[in-house]
Amino acid sequence: MVVSCFVLAWFCYFHGVSSADAGGFTPRQLQDDTNGFLDIFEVYKPVNFAPQGSGCDQQILLMEHQLHSAMDIRLLLLSGDYQPPTCDFDTVKINFTVTSKGHQFDRLALMYLGDMEVFRTSTAEPTQNGIIWTYIKDMSQYIALWKQPQKLIFDLGNLIDNTYTGAYNTTLTASFSKNNNIKTPDVVLPISAKRSATNGTSAFIVPSDNTTVSVTIPAPASRAVVHVSFNAIAGILYGYSPFHEVQLYIDGTLAGVVWPFPTIFTGGVVPGFCHPIVGSDAFNLRMPEIDISPFLSYLTDGKDHSFSIKVVGLDTQEDGTAKLSDGVGYYLVITGNIFLYLGEGAGSGYGKGVLPLVVAPDPTFTTSHQLLQNRTTGANESVSYSVMAKRALTVTSPAYTWVQTLSFSNYGLLDRQGFRQWNKQNTGGELLANVAGSNAALTTFSYPLEANTTFGVSDTGSTIDAWLNRGLSVGSNGGLGVSTFTLANGPSNLVTKQYGSAHYGSFSNAPSYSFGDTTDEFEETSEGSTYSRTVRAVNGTVISDTQGTGRKQGSLARMKCEFYSSISNYSYRLRFGSPGPLPRIRLTLSQPIGKGSTNSKGT
């Protein structure tokens, strides 16, 4: 068995938590912060919690849970009945504010409306003096759910005992307003375990659960998109494939895949990285999208159809080649939602019950490894490896096209008998959804990550020294509604980078400690404006923070999509027998021009 594919797998899906320095409704409006709690935050474009709308302006307290002397509580699983406001609304924002004090690990949390997951987050690791964080999220893409009474379930697993003393005091508030937003999905259907009727959490746990559900798609439907929410429990990832693929099947036919973003928990790598700046997407794990509109003629026949989600990794062979594994053998938390736009669409009039043409060969893998041994003892001293993967997937019907072009690379080195670990990874790709007679929606993404950790062990304890450099880039010329992947409405361009170093120490008869130096550089253009922020924190204190805002000049269709061959013509050729190369697509991202104002402070 080749050893090239297991090293530092915990970097690849170390999903986590963060907090947000968001505008609008602030944490101090929900919780007194005069006790000196440390503000933890995630850098993201601020969301106005209570926008000024017409006809509706209401706030509802959805959940407030205070834990004081909660010894031996294993799980916070809250459920309640949500009733929508009586006013007419089309915009919903949530404010999630948490305080904690003591010692605790980071914990995963999921929010459901009925059987549908609508928010996945996780907790920051508290300090003895206490922390506070807030995340504000636009939930307007779930208007179809918010308009109806729902069972609201919030699932936050935790353990309180004499060692792990950090309880989470949580407040969840929603604001409702009328802002004449663009069209949102008419129907949202779950791909989940559907346990809300018994006040249970509806996430699938893979591999133990069967992830197949039966769904009837209402007709007529003009557009359909599946949003997939996925992450692993990081502590059990080490030793498994650094490559993962989430697959969506409809009646046993592959409809699309997701190559996930490597979110890092607030306790990931070294905890000192994440106080007070947490990792990208840690407080709001984005949900990638798979456009299943090419299946609509097949699905809208009034019959039940099966939807299933599968997660696979990488299997290496004795000869050094690699292929997709049949599955993964550890704890994965998975759900999906089907977003439907009703009405006559481009596919109306085509034959019912006809599957689209799916061209989806397995990914191609290239692997290498080198093992160095001590010449005298023969003991293993270092191992280096590389894993590269590429995949192209195309789904076409007479009216719709879904194209994915993906790439992945992972390079690693373990030396000093495993006490030093270096890893460099990048995941990238293009996603294209085309409807006959309209402009194609094109999204590009890139997830670079490089990390180095050095472990020190002595008779009295151990240390970890690490440095980290990672990024997240997502660009799109827009689609329907608020995207759960771009987290924006319409055209958007996001580029963010985090880098720094940190130290951790744990010694006998003394508390463990961690400190670090982290910088976050962020810029996003979306919904007509640009927001930028560069912030640096050293040893838990923000020492510089520069923010800028500006109106976008012109249009993000300076994000040009240039097609060198006709997508509709390509779809026809694929379906009726003359498949050529994938259409050449070039996305040009020109720098938005805006007059930004800056506010610098030193602490």
Q: What is the pLDDT of residues 265-324, one digit of tens each?
A: 888 889 999 999 999 999 999 999 999 999 999 999 999 999 999 999 998 887 878 999
Instruction: Round to whole Å and give the CA distance between 271 and 273.
Output: 5
Instruction: Round to whole Å and give the CA distance between 224 and 347.
Output: 12
Closest to 92 in 3D by CA, of 45, 42, 144, 154: 144
Range with the lowest mean pLDDT among 19-33, 66-80, 116-130, 263-277?
19-33
Q: Residues, the chain, total?
A: 603
Helix (H, G, I), strand (E, B) or coil at 537: strand
What is the count of structural domains for the chain?
1
Q: Please say whether the beta carbons of 237 and 330 come within 8 A.
A: yes
pLDDT digits over 44-91, tens only? 999 999 877 777 889 999 998 865 444 434 345 666 789 999 999 999
Distances (CA, A) of 69 to 104, 165, 241: 15, 9, 41
pLDDT digits over 484-499, tens only? 888 888 889 999 999 9
pLDDT of 553 higher than 90: no
Return the pLDDT at 335.
97
pLDDT of 442 higher than 50: yes
Distances (CA, A) of 340 to 186, 264, 293, 345, 437: 6, 32, 9, 12, 19
Instruction: Round to whole Å and give the CA distance between 152 and 80.
Output: 5
Asked if residue 34 belongs to a domain, the reply is yes
For residues 324-343, average pLDDT? 90
Cβ contacts of residue 468 below 8 Å, gap of 6+? Answer: 269, 273, 450, 451, 452, 498, 499, 500, 501, 502
Asked if residue 190 belongs to a domain, the reply is yes
Return the pLDDT at 351.
59
Question: Domain of 158?
Answer: 9-588
3-state secondary structure string across 483-512:
CCCCCCECCEEEEEEEEEEEEEEEECCCCC
Cβ contacts of residue 580 below 8 Å, gap of 6+? Answer: 565, 570, 573
Q: What is the DSSP string of 398-424?
A: SSEEEEEEEEEEEEEEEEGGGTEEEEE
Closest to 92 in 3D by CA, of 508, 481, 553: 481
pLDDT grade, residue 574 (50/70/90)?
Answer: very low
Helix (H, G, I), strand (E, B) or coil at 131: strand
**Percent of the chain topping pLDDT 70:** 80
pLDDT of 589 higher than 90: no
Question: In this structure, how many other beta carbons lie within 10 angstroms of the beta carbon of residue 390?
Answer: 14
- Comparison of pLDDT for 360 and 30, the residue scoring more: 360
Q: Please say whether the beta carbons of 97 and 122 come within 8 A.
A: no
- Comparison of pLDDT for 194 and 377, the residue scoring more: 194
Return the pLDDT at 452.
96
Return the pLDDT at 1.
32
pLDDT of 364 higher than 90: yes
The pLDDT mean for the chain works out to: 82
> CA geometry: angle at 227 spanning 583 and 125, to 5°?
120
Asked if residue 494 belongs to a domain, the reply is yes
pLDDT of 18 higher than 50: no
Q: Please say whether the beta carbons of 454 and 269 come within 8 A.
A: no
pLDDT grade, residue 527 (50/70/90)?
Answer: confident
Return the pLDDT at 392.
98
Return the pLDDT at 133.
96
Return the pLDDT at 13.
28
Return the pLDDT at 381.
85
> CA geometry: angle at 394 spanning 215 and 5, to 5°?
90
Residue 306 corresponds to which tokens in the numbers above? 């099966």
Return the pLDDT at 330.
76
Range with the lowest mean pLDDT among 37-46, 63-72, 388-397, 506-515?
63-72
Question: In this structure, how many other beta carbons lie within 10 angstroms of the beta carbon of residue 294?
Answer: 30
pLDDT of 385 higher than 50: yes
For residues 90-108, average pLDDT? 92
pLDDT digits over 150-195, tens only? 999 999 888 888 888 888 999 999 999 998 877 899 999 999 999 9
Burial class (CB in 10 A: 0-12, 13-18, 19+), 147: middle
**Percent of the chain topping pLDDT 90:** 57
291, β-bridge pairs = 225
Instruction: Round to whole Å and give the CA distance between 309 and 247.
Output: 6
The most confident of 184-198, 232-246, 364-378, 553-567, by mean pLDDT: 184-198
For residues 254-272, average pLDDT? 92
φ, ψ for residue 425 (rounded to 5)?
-140, 150
For residues 361-382, average pLDDT? 89
Helix, strand, coil tally for the chain in percent (to 5): 10, 50, 45
Residue 388 corresponds to which tokens in the numbers above? 């590269």
Asked if residue 4 belongs to a domain, the reply is no
Asked if residue 597 belongs to a domain, the reply is no
Return the pLDDT at 479.
74
Asked if residue 265 belongs to a domain, the reply is yes
pLDDT grade, residue 31 (50/70/90)?
Answer: very low
User: What is the identity of the amino acid at 137?
Assistant: K
Asked if residue 603 belongs to a domain, the reply is no
pLDDT grade, residue 433 (50/70/90)?
Answer: very high
pLDDT of 196 higher than 80: yes
Q: In whole angstroms, what separates CA 584 from the centre of its chain? A: 28
Pairing mode, strands 221-232 and 332-342? antiparallel
pLDDT of 460 higher than 50: yes
Identify the residue whose tokens are 């379906």.
575
Return the pLDDT at 78.
66
Cis preceding-peptide flag for 46 (omega within 30 of 0): no
Is the Cα torsion angle 321, 324, 328, 329 positive or negative in sign? negative
Return the pLDDT at 512.
87
Closest to 328 in 3D by CA, of 238, 404, 391, 419: 238
For residues 344-372, average pLDDT? 84
pLDDT of 401 higher than 60: yes
Contacts 24+ apart (CB under 8 A), 560-565: 560/586, 560/587, 560/588, 561/439, 561/440, 561/442, 561/477, 561/585, 561/586, 561/587, 562/586, 562/588, 563/440
Distances (CA, A) of 5 to 23, 314, 320, 384: 42, 7, 11, 10
Q: Please say whether the beta carbons of 315 and 324 come within 8 A.
A: yes
pLDDT of 384 higher than 90: yes
Cβ contacts of residue 455 below 8 Å, gap of 6+? Answer: 419, 420, 462, 463, 464
Return the pLDDT at 2.
32
Asked if residue 197 belongs to a domain, the reply is yes
Return the pLDDT at 67.
57
Instruction: Round to whole Å and give the CA distance between 425 and 218.
Output: 42
User: What is the identity of the amino acid at 24?
Assistant: G
Instruction: Round to whole Å and give the CA distance between 570 and 547.
Output: 45
pLDDT of 12 higher than 70: no
pLDDT of 462 higher than 80: yes
For residues 477-483, average pLDDT? 78
Closest to 17 in 3D by CA, of 328, 244, 278, 370: 278
